[in-house]
Amino acid sequence: PAPAFGDPALLERIAGNLLENAVRHNVEGGWLDVVTQSGPRWSTLRVRSSGGLVDPATVAELFEPFRRAGVARTARHGAGLGLSIVRAAVQAHGGSVAAEPIVGGGLAVTVHLPVG
């Protein structure tokens, strides 16, 4: 595991929201991939999962409160707050978060948090 320092509750919320979103918006029989890495200055958490197609032009909107993309827009669960909470918690720790669509469907979300 990659070390991350900060508020334990917020760090848990970051990981929990990313995993919950990946499972919630996955497709039946889909896949989920979680990778952690650490370096001298940053720890990285990357969560990738299969799912519906996400328009690259709308990826940045996923971090806005109450915004959802792709098939998630019509889903009956979730309020569209998960990634906005992740972004706020990551920024509170001096880190960054980004998302990118996966060719063929799905999303990869990468969090970088400072070490130490």
37-87 residue pLDDT tens: 999 999 999 999 998 888 888 888 888 887 665 544 445 455 567 899 999
Domain architecture of the chain: domains with CATH = 8-114 (3.30.565.10)
pTM (2 d.p.): 0.86
Pick the closest to residue 52 from 80, 22, 81, 77 (CA basis). Answer: 22
Tell me what pLDDT residue 82 has: 80
Tell me what pLDDT residue 67 has: 66
Pick the closest to residue 12 from 115, 111, 107, 98 (CA basis). Answer: 111
Distances in Å between the Cα of 80 and the Cα atoms of 36, 41, 69, 88 are 25, 31, 9, 14
